[in-house]
Amino acid sequence: MEFRSCKEFKIGKCEGQKEVDGEIMPLVLQPPEANKAKFESLLLALKNNKEWLDQMIIKHSALLLRGYDVSNAEEFNDIVEAFGWEDIRYVGPAPRTHVYKRIWTANEGPLSEFIYYHHEMVLIKEYPKKVILYCEIPPPEGGETPFVPSFKVTERMVKEFPKEVEEMEKKGLKYTFIALSKNDTSSMRGRGWEDAFGSSDPNEAQKRANALGMDVEWLPNGAMKTILGPRDLTKVFNGRKGRRMWFNTMVGMHGKEHSSALMADGTEIPENVVKRCQEIIEEESIQFKWEKGDVLFLDNYALLHGRRPSLPPRRVLVATCK
């Protein structure tokens, strides 16, 4: 495998790594020597090698910094800002709390539940290029952040369901989601529309939803129903070998509480297609156990990601970048 090394990082390994189409996922970068594990050394190495690291994130889809002394949200924010990538505000149903500058908590829904695989903000007009995660408190058991090479899902779905994939690709998909007014942290999708759109004024919230490409219906109980579509089934992004990414949330929203996924003309997606797609996504998943101080860069164009059920405590922070 062709790899141009960098003297300021040592290539490491982690349990759960896979080789996919000749690329190791995740690529693990560690301090070249013990005295380079300090946070200041890491920050300098990042700033000196921004372009190379960006190339590695795209080449390998996932890059894990491990073995460095990254101790809190402030230092994580310094890492994010070292790259100069523009911030993009999260829009979606997950309950989150702002921590520091560009840093937020990851989904604060119950740790006992599985957060299904998704490309971050896949249904919004503008979605992040990169999702960056930092492990402040590793879980004692479970709580992994599995990810899936999206093009592998497309390859296998086209092979098994060529006609169905062609129909969904041609028609596009339509999604609906219902958001209550106030946050409900007992649900993984409990973010209220006031928090999601930063306004308690229904007219202003609707205006902001419309600007993001959503149609809105108001329900008698004050909840907002958002309708999104048609949306693409797959997408091809520059610099990623012409791969067709499974850039949708068909499985995650199909027939779930508060949400639905249909073909854009209202045709139901066959149950067996959804079920098999769910199996394929799980079969292609990659995961490792979090360690304190880990920083994981995900290419949001190339990977679906989720969260395994976890025993408490677990604290993973996130930043999203254009």
- Tens of pLDDT, residue by residue over 159-211, are 999 999 999 999 999 999 999 888 887 777 778 999 889 899 999 999 999 99
CA 45 vs CA 12, 25, 26, 42, 57: distances in Å: 16, 21, 19, 5, 15
Name the pLDDT band for 241 (thresholds 50, 70, 90): very high
Name the pLDDT band for 130 (thresholds 50, 70, 90): very high
pLDDT at res. 1 = 36
- Kindly report, residue by residue over 243-301, the tens digit of the pLDDT: 999 999 999 999 988 899 999 999 999 999 999 999 999 999 999 999 999 999 999 99
Phi-psi region of 24 (alpha: psi -120 to 50; beta: other; left: phi over 0): beta
Rounded distance between C-alpha atoms, residue 296 and residue 52, angstroms: 16
pLDDT at res. 196 = 87
Whether the per-residue pLDDT at 2 is higher than 50: the answer is: no
pLDDT at res. 257 = 82
Long-range contacts: 40-48, Cβ < 8 Å, 24+? Answer: 42/68, 42/69, 42/70, 42/79, 43/78, 43/79, 43/82, 45/8, 45/9, 46/79, 46/82, 46/83, 47/82, 48/8
pLDDT at res. 5 = 62
- Kindly report, residue by residue over 71-92, the tens digit of the pLDDT: 999 999 999 999 999 999 998 8
- The overall average pLDDT reported for the chain is 95
pLDDT at res. 182 = 84
pLDDT at res. 188 = 73
- What residues contact residue 224 under an 8 Å CB cut-off, 6+ apart? 178, 179, 181, 193, 202, 205, 206, 209, 216, 217, 218
pLDDT at res. 12 = 97
pLDDT at res. 3 = 45
Rounded distance between C-alpha atoms, residue 43 and residue 312, angstroms: 30
Q: Which among 288, 293, 283 is positioned nearest to 308, based on CA atoms?
A: 288
Q: Are 63 and 300 in contact, with CB atoms under 8 Å apart?
A: no
Select the more confidently predicted residue: 144 or 183: 144
